[in-house]
Amino acid sequence: MLGLDNAGKTTIVKKIMNEDVNTASSSKQLSMRGDVGGQKTLRSYWRNYFEKTDALIWVVDATDRLRIDDCRDELHGLLQEERLSGASLLVFANKTDVQGCMDETEILQGLQLKAIRSHRWHVLRCSAITGENLREGLAWVVEDAKARLFLY
C-alpha cells in the first residue's frame, strides 16, 4: 500500500486491524504491516520496499486537489517498475466521508487512470474513518490477483 503522505494509509491499516483510528501513529516512516510513509523524502525508498508484487493499493486523499498532479506523477512513475509488472492496482479514493471531496470522475481524470493499460485497475471511494469500502477493496485485489495466478 503506497500513496502520498497524509493520504490515510496508516489509518486504513489500523481500521482494517480494528485499532483505534484516533490515536496518532507511532511511526511516520515504515509500518511493518503493509504501508510505507509517503513524504517526499521517503518516496525513493518505496522501490526498496517491495519484491515481485501481485497487488498494489494506491491511496489518494480525495480532499487534496492541490496535489492530485503530484499524486498522478508518482503513481505513473511507480507503475514503470519491473517488479510491479502484472500487479493488480486498486486505487482507494480515501476520506470520502469529507463533504466536497473529489468524486470518482475527478479522481479518474486527475490520476489519468484510463491511460493505464499495463495493469488491471479498479477505483473505489473509501473512508478509513467509517470503514466504507475497505473490505470490498481488499476483496477486489485478492480476487483479481488470484484470478491471474491461476493463469500461470
Ligand X SMILES: Nc1nc2c(ncn2[C@@H]2O[C@H](COP(=O)(O)OP(=O)(O)OP(=O)(O)O)[C@@H](O)[C@H]2O)c(=O)[nH]1
- Residues constituting the chain: 152
- Shortest-Cβ-distance residue relative to ligand X: 8
Is 10 among the annotated ligand-binding positions?
Answer: yes
User: The C-alpha cell of 64 is what?
Assistant: 487534496
Q: Is 7 helix (H, G, I), strand (E, B) or coil?
A: coil
Distances (CA, A) of 138 to 43, 101, 109, 143: 23, 22, 23, 9
Partner whose footprint covers residue 133, from Mg ion, ligand X, none (CB < 5 to 8 Å by kind): none
Q: Active site residue: 29, 39, 109, 112, which one?
A: 39
Distances (CA, A) of 83 to 1, 7, 104, 106: 14, 23, 28, 29
39 belongs to the catalytic site: yes
User: The C-alpha cell of 151 is what?
Assistant: 493463469
Residue number with CB closer to ligand X (36 or 120)? 36
Q: Which residues bind Mg ion (CB under 5 A)?
A: 9-10
Q: Which residues bind ligand X (CB under 6 A)?
A: 3, 5-11, 25, 28, 35, 37-39, 94-95, 97-98, 127-129
Backbone CA torsion sign across 11, 72, 105, 147: negative
Is 4 among the annotated ligand-binding positions?
Answer: yes
Is 8 among the annotated ligand-binding positions?
Answer: yes
Catalytically active residues, by annotation = 39
Known binding residues for GTP: 3-10, 38, 94-97
Known binding residues for Mg(2+): 10, 27
